[in-house]
Structure formats: structure tokens, C-alpha cells
Amino acid sequence: MDSMTNDSASVIDEGRFSVRRTIRIDAPIEKVWAAVTHPGHISRWFGRAEFDGSSVGATGTLTFDDYGAIPLRIEAIDEPRLVSYRWSNDDASGSLPPEVDERSTVFTFTLEPLDGGTRLTVVETGFDATSDPAANMESHRQGWDSELDKLVALVERGA
């Protein structure tokens, strides 16, 4: 049975200006942690990741072929349970700032060990500060669906 059939799509919470998705990954928490924190792994499923460190306050970029380099900062880490990133990627603004700014959103990965796998939840918040909250939330909802599907495929096949 494909594990994806148990997973829900991303959902928007308009009252909290957030996007959330929870998935099950048939891999140990250590593998999933590496996939969401190490630049070499992130680059294989998300965007090309570059960081100047691996602790809170470290900065870097996620680069997407069709979008450019998005500035990023590590906001919180509790290995191997939680990592938060702040990124300035106001889709509706039409231009990207050179560093994280007031229009940035925060996405947090929370990992929980399950029997035979890991539950991964992503919550992205802060859309109320963006130029077009509704458009940005919908864009990111779609993005988390496609990006996390790629993460599951990568981690589950043991690559």
C-alpha cells in the first residue's frame, strides 16, 4: 500500500494565516531529520540549499530554478524533533529582498517517531504580513503538497 494514500493534502487556516500538512514517512526519524536539516539533502527534494551554519541564527538561501534565491534563516532547532526556518518569499510582491524581512513567513517541521516510520508536520505561518495573504497561502499550500511528496519519495526509497 502506498503510504501517500494515508496522507492529507495541505490545508489553509485563514483565521491563523497559516498552511499545514501532516504526512507519514516510512523511514526512521533520523533519516527524515537529515532530509529537512542538511543542505545536501534539502537540495535533493526542495530547493538548492546553502547555509552558513547549522544552529539558530544561521542564514542562507533556497534557490529554485523558476523563482531565484530566497533568503532563509534558522529560527529554532530541537534535534530531532523540530526545526523552524524563516524565509522571505512573498510570492505576490514580485521581488525578493536580499535578506529576511518583515514580509517573511516561518515554516516549522515537527517530527514524531511512529512504529515503522515518522510523522512529519509542516506549519507555515505569518502570511498576514505578506502583500496578498490569500494568494500566498494558496501558492504555498500547493507548494507543500508537491514538495513534501518529493521528500517522501526520496526518503522512502532510501536514496
Rounded Cα distance, 25 and 153, in Å: 9
Sheet strand arrangement including 68-78: 11-13, 18-25, 117-125, 105-114, 82-87, 68-78, 59-64, 48-51
In terms of CATH, what superfamily is 3-156? START domain (3.30.530.20)
Q: Which grid cell sits at 136?
A: 500566498
Conformational region of residue 77, where left means phi above 0, alpha means psi within -120 to 50, and beta covers everything else? beta
Q: What is the pLDDT along the chain (159 residues), one digit of tens a residue?
A: 334 444 689 999 999 999 999 999 999 999 999 999 999 999 999 999 999 999 999 999 999 988 889 999 999 999 999 999 999 877 777 777 777 887 899 999 999 999 999 999 999 999 999 989 999 999 999 999 999 999 999 999 874
For residue 28, cis peptide bond before it (omega within 30 degrees of 0):
no
116/122 Cα distance (integer angstroms): 20
Q: How far apart are the first and last CA of the chain?
A: 20
Domain range annotation of the chain:
3-156
